[in-house]
Amino acid sequence: MFHFNTTNMVEIQMIVINDFGEFKGRKTILTIEDCNSFLTMCKNFHSAGGFDLTCEDGTFMVFAPQIVQKSILKINKRIIEKENV
């Protein structure tokens, strides 16, 4: 007999919005626990100084602290259900 165990994962994408435009990060998949830790860490976005982001097209962006101070960090989340057999 097969036992199905459904584990929820979360797909996230960071988006930095500022006067220079909207910069979409690469999507990544995390466990719900890791996602919650990540979201807690993101609350320090403005106080952490500079910020870097690998964009969805593979480019790498570095934002200076004064740009980060004037930016909005948006996190898109999507729940993914994964079945383990």
- Digit-coded pLDDT (tens) for 20-74: 999 999 999 999 999 999 999 999 998 988 999 999 999 999 999 999 999 999 9
Place of tokens 């980060």: 68
Rounded to an integer, what distance in angstroms lies between the CA atom of residue 84 and that of residue 58?
31
pTM above 0.95, yes or no: no
Counting other chains too, the contacts that 56-65 makes at CB distance below 8 Å and 24 or more residues apart are 56/13, 56/24, 56/25, 56/26, 56/27, 58/26, 61/16, 61/23, 63/16, 63/18
Residue-range domain boundaries for the chain: 5-79
Provide the pLDDT for residue 81: 78
**Burial of 35 by CB count in 10 Å (0-12 exposed, 13-18 middle, 19+ buried)?**
buried
